[in-house]
Structure 1
Amino acid sequence: MIGNAIAAFIGHKIDASDGEGGTLGAVAGVAAWKVAKTVVPALLVFGAIAYGIHRFANSETAI
Structure 2
Amino acid sequence: MFGKIIGALVGREMDRRDGSGGTKGALLGMIAGSGLRRMGPLGMLLGGGYVAKKAYDRRKASRGPRSY
TM-score of the superposed pair, with normalisation by structure 2:
0.40
RCO (CA 8 Å, sep 6+): is it higher in 1 or 2? 2
Which has the larger Rg? 1
